[in-house]
Structure 1
């Protein structure tokens, strides 16, 4: 097993949930401490409070990954005579870094909202509110025939030619290349000041624009020519759509009352609040972890019979009734599902990379409400 540090681990995590996915203004990324130190244990938690920090200390963790950022608004001071300041002081004293993955983890494929949709056993799941998509780019590169396979393989490994469930997609056209190296050139083929005629292939591939630098670097490293000839263009095609919330179907229509009890069981919560007539049939379900008050109209337009979300305001509940959208509110704390989801994903990544590090799901509940 190989030793690793926090930066290395976070680079793998951000391949799954890059910070660029986060909604504008969200507080994500490293919030406390540093990532350039060795890490052997990471605690994954919904929130960072005093008890969670004590748990991290007890378990010997050097890093905490939290869904809810402990620093959400700009700080005016760090006073260690107040609870927040004491918390930060304890983290720094014990050299525990804190990294926040908030809306980027909500939006990521396989992230919080997909985990919730899986827990609710929804079928034919799609994005509720798209937030981002990537432009496709097209690369055309000309290579001598003997280098075609090596160049094609290199740019494919860098991410070019992946279309949906297919990878290594490309198109190759044979042709004839002509060029004359000048006296300063060191040509792979041909001689200085003489016209060279070479059998070449044109390779065509597409890839998401975010992979541009990686693909071009792979191309230049693999291509035998001093000055490879290539064309690069942006296409008016978007791929890899991402977004907040999910919407899907139940296998069969059920009453709202029965489904509310099912949600309570599936999400393992002590109670749910329900808006709507208990006899109302529901089958199309929207789910959004956290505060879903802004999403009732979006869920209605998407055809949802019911929206499962937390922190519903009184007047928003009345608005939902007015548009005949049922609501099931199991509380904000259902996002704790990310603790196991992130731990499982990152432990698998560490095993794959043979890294000497384990991710531990926090055993503490940070739910502030108690039912009497």
Structure 2
């Protein structure tokens, strides 16, 4: 086991929730302090406020991972007699860095929206609004028969040949290769200035474009030829779809009134706001943590009977009524489910990497509203 620095911790985190997943313009990443230091404890929180900073100080944390960026809009000054400047001052004085993972954590597999879908017992869960996907590439390479398995294994180990739940997928067809090495060549088969005829296999695999360099490196390292012949094609097919919100089904249909009670209990909130007839039958459920006002129509098009989201505006609620989409609003603070979710994921990841760092979910509620 070894003590990691902040860079190693965030590199591990971003393998799960890379910055590339975030929606354009989102304020994510390191916001305050430095990652160039040893980190033994990390506080995971929904928001960063003075009480959360004090909690981090008392726990001895060197880093805070927050879902809501403390610096969301451009700062015009850094006045320590004003709340935001005073917060930054408090963090810097105690040498506590703050890293924000916002929409990238919403979108990531196993992130905020998957945690909410799990808490609500949804089955057959799918993405509600796709935001990113990767193009597939196809590699066709020609190898001497005795080297086909060697090259196939190397490509599979590099990640090529994965289709859905299947790995090591490939196609092989036999053929005849012809080539004449020049005088300056160093051929694996054949002699300089003589035409060689070789029994070869055409080996084909597909892979997401993001691992192209890794796959090509594996090919060139494993292939016996000095100059392997291969084709690389960009396909129209997409994989690794990611997006905002989740939609799934309940094991059994219930009324809107019954399901509102379930949401209230499962997400541990004191009340929910409900739009729609309370006796409406609910089975298909869409959920989006945070402010989901822009996604009313998206949830309806996806076939949801009810949409669970926070910060519902009055006129958007009327729009939902008009299109006969039920809505349950348990508040924005339900995203605090990420505290235990992130802490559990990162504690496990650090154990697997033999890193001695503890991730601690904040015990403080940053919910600003009170029910009277």
Shorter-chain TM-score category?
Answer: over 0.9
Name the SS for the 2:117 alignment partner: helix
1:326 correspondence with 2:344:
no
Note closer, same or farther for the CA distance 1:6–1:181 as it changes in structure 2 (3 Å cut). Answer: farther
Relative distance call for 1:33 and 1:193 in structure 2 (3 A) is farther
Deviation at 1:262, TM superposition (A): 1.1
Provide the residue aligned with 1:80 in structure 2: 80
Q: What is the CA–CA distance in structure 2 between the aligned matches of 1:195 and 1:95, rounded to whole Å?
A: 69
> TM-score normalised to the size of structure 1?
0.94
Displacement of 1:190 in angstroms is: 3.8
Aligned equivalents of 2:227, 2:120: Cα separation in 1: 55
Q: CA, structure 1 residues 146+43, in 2 after alignment: closer, same or farther (shift >3 Å)?
A: farther
The DSSP-based 3-state class of the residue aligned with 1:254 is strand
Name 1:39's counterpart in structure 2: 39
Aligned to 1:259: 259
Report the CA distance shift for 1:256/1:193 in structure 2 as closer, same or farther (over 3 A): same
Mapped partners of 1:11, 1:218: distance in 2:
24
Alpha-carbon distance in 2 for matches of 1:309, 1:371:
19
C-alpha distance in 2 between matches for 1:37 and 1:99 = 14
Find the aligned partners of 1:90 and 1:194 in 2 and give their Cα distance.
76
Is 1:247 paired with 2:247?
yes
Identify the residue that residue 8 of structure 1 maps to in structure 2: 8
Q: Deviations over 1:255-278 (max 9, x none)?
A: 212211111001011111111222
- 1:97, CA displacement in angstroms? 2.1
Deviation at residue 150 of structure 1 after TM alignment: 3.0
* Number of corresponding residues: 372
Which digits, 9 at most, give the CA deviation of each residue in 1:197-237, with x for residues without a partner?
43433221101111112212222233333322211110111
Change (3 A) 1:9 1:319: same
CA RMSD of aligned residues (A): 1.8
Superposition deviation, residue 108 in structure 1? 1.4
CA separation of 1:227 and 1:287: change in aligned 2, threshold 3 A: same
Comparing 328-337 with 9-18, which one deviates more in the overlay?
9-18
Specify every segment of 5 or more residues in structure 2 that has no aligned partner in the other structure, as ranges: none
Report the secondary structure of 2:130's partner residue.
strand
- C-alpha displacement of 1:299: 1.3
Shift of the 54–150 alpha-carbon distance from structure 1 to 2, 3 Å rule, reads farther
Provide the residue aligned with 1:110 in structure 2. 110
